[in-house]
Amino acid sequence: MKILVTGGAGYIGSHFVHHLVDKNHQVCVVDNLSRGHHEALPKSVVFKKTDLLDFVNLKSCIIEFQPEAVVHFAAFAYVGESVEKPDLYYQNNVVGSYNLIKAVVECGVKYFVFSSTCSIYGNPKSIPISEDEPSNPINPYANTKLMIEIMLRDFEKAFGLKNVCLRYFNAAGASSNGLIGESHSPEPHLIPLVLFTAQKKREKIFVFGNDYNTQDGTCIRDYIHVDDLADAHLKAINYLIEGGKSAIINLGTGVGNSVLEIIDKAKNITQKEIPFEIVNRREGDPAILVADNKKAKEILNWQPRFGIDEIIQTAWNWHTNQIY
């Protein structure tokens, strides 16, 4: 297939692009490189340095490549930054996505897969979290993702654009060959921060609260390997091409790990000391976020292959040999 990928130079996008190339698909990556890394891309892909806010140039990329499907990763994704700069997030994420969806429809592309987030659920009422959980975003970043899902629903009704919105839980890990991995600036995610501490790039890790209603008092999250996410995106494209209906689907392992469990596992894998300090809770942190992934298994015939040990091991391999 010919597949156009926005944000393909980013963390999850680049793993998906490598997955497509390994499966012999033709790929065009559209990325403005504001937060992505050109070094993460295979040399065989077509690369267009283009901003989604530039509608004319964006549409010309689609016309030139003629993709059968579009997979949309491009977005700003820092919760804290979204609270401080909501204008930036609504412009980049919502306006940029509107331009892309409009261009896709005008160019006759029929299939669209969207990188969404479990943040849309906010503080969920039920654990594990199913797709039936009400949408209740509690920050501008999550608001932008929900707006894009609503936009896709409306564009399907009006123009027939078939789509799958994949709501990720906590993406983590790195490619098994160690060539690409997670590189954010600043880095907001727990596993890289824990590994930075093991490398002595940080003095210690801060644990935000140990008085939650969990086994050890720290927050529990569902960590999903980035290669499992990549596999699910290709399965979502195939599902749509084979006649599947538009859908919202959770992507998680269905297994949760606490902050202290992550630190302990990282100590065992790295054989390094990882000092930590218990500090006050962060506002808005739910105690437990774990996916109900039955729908992904049933509809996409998808099964996560990697557990938390493989996630931390591949991340450690990447961070000890990081090339970008």
- Cite the active site residues: 141
Residue 276 tokens read as 């930590």
Beta-sheet pairing, 162-168 with 111-117: parallel
Helices (H), the chain: 11-22, 55-65, 79-84, 86-89, 96-106, 140-159, 190-198, 226-241, 259-270, 294-300, 308-320
57, amino acid identity: N
Q: Phi and psi dihedrals of 210, rounded to 5?
A: -135, 30
Which SS3 state, helix, strand or coil, does residue 313 take?
helix
Rounded Cα gap, residues 45 and 25, in angstroms: 10
| Rounded alpha-carbon distances, angstroms, from residue 128 to 213, 226, 256, 258, 275 | 15, 20, 10, 15, 31
Task: Return the number of other C-beta atoms located less than 10 Å from residue 267's C-beta.
Answer: 14
Task: Find tokens 């995106």 and name the residue.
Answer: 233
